[in-house]
Homo-oligomer: A and B are copies of this chain.
């Protein structure tokens, strides 16, 4: 952490800051320019005290140089984390699993119908929401536990690991029981009690980036889970909110190489929610693969106009099948596998 003092600060003001640094157990490094003095306070967790120094009248501003997260960082663990799932599926290795299914679980029959389509074309993880975070209280909120039971049934029947979302601490044990991966949705990226609850159980967690979450905050949210002992965290980019309204969100592919350099955790991409327009999902899915995705999440539905949520972005089975074939060719060109 670098502390820049106010321009033309006095020896006395300088001393006050230095004393504070020493009191906290750090060693100050002082550099005096013509008008400006800067003081380095370098050491583990120095950034924790950012507020303290920013609050001092003598200080102009702080520049962070250490990272505020630790377990999530590449410095802590050099090798990529590979999350191991049932049926031999892995996320974070050379193979890029496709996670697909309906947005919401509607019935056992429809889920199985869709799951079969997913599997036949090469998708390996089944998704579907039982608890649905909907911006309006008057729209379909999901089947709840019944939906999770359908999910567990479908996963077993089709021999596919499953993923579904937990919206609150109370739902975590249910998700942990019925599913193979617990998803934390974009709206709950800073629901810290939920993060901690997921950190205390054993199932892998898929942590979606919020629509206004910086890369740094995203890693700090992951750190909440890791710090409770659960190291199987997958990050999922699903679109940020920008001024552009022609697409539902702006899927931020730039974040992929950047965050993969900062962390060892695998990165999943969700082009369906990101762009939110069915016909453009395949193009974006291919861009995701090229950007370095460790897994790709897709929504599909055979009759989107009957879907209980997010119909406009769900791929039709034919679109999905065509895309899977294209992704396989593309993966090879990128030295990966689908």
Q: Which residues of A contact B (CB under 8 A)?
A: 2, 4, 7, 20, 29, 31-34, 36, 38, 40, 42-45, 48, 51-56, 60-61, 63, 65-66, 68-70, 75, 133-139, 167-170, 187-194, 210-212, 214-217, 220-221, 223-224, 227, 240-247, 250-258, 261, 274-275, 277-280, 283-284, 286-292, 304-307, 309-312, 314, 329-330, 332-334
Whether A307 contacts B55 by the Cβ 8 Å rule is: yes
Whether B309 contacts A51 by the Cβ 8 Å rule is: yes
Oligomer copy total = 4
Whether A134 contacts B192 by the Cβ 8 Å rule is: yes
Set B36, B61, B190, B283: member contacting A291, Cβ < 8 A:
B283
- A254: chain B residues at CB < 8 Å are 244, 247, 250-251, 274-275, 280, 284
* Residue of chain B at shortest CB distance from A243: B241
Whether A242 contacts B250 by the Cβ 8 Å rule is: yes
Whether A48 contacts B292 by the Cβ 8 Å rule is: no
Whether B54 contacts A2 by the Cβ 8 Å rule is: no
- A252: chain B residues at CB < 8 Å are 242, 244, 250
- A291: chain B residues at CB < 8 Å are 283-284, 286-287
A136-B68, A244-B240, A290-B290 as given contacts; A253 in contact with B29, CB under 8 Å: no
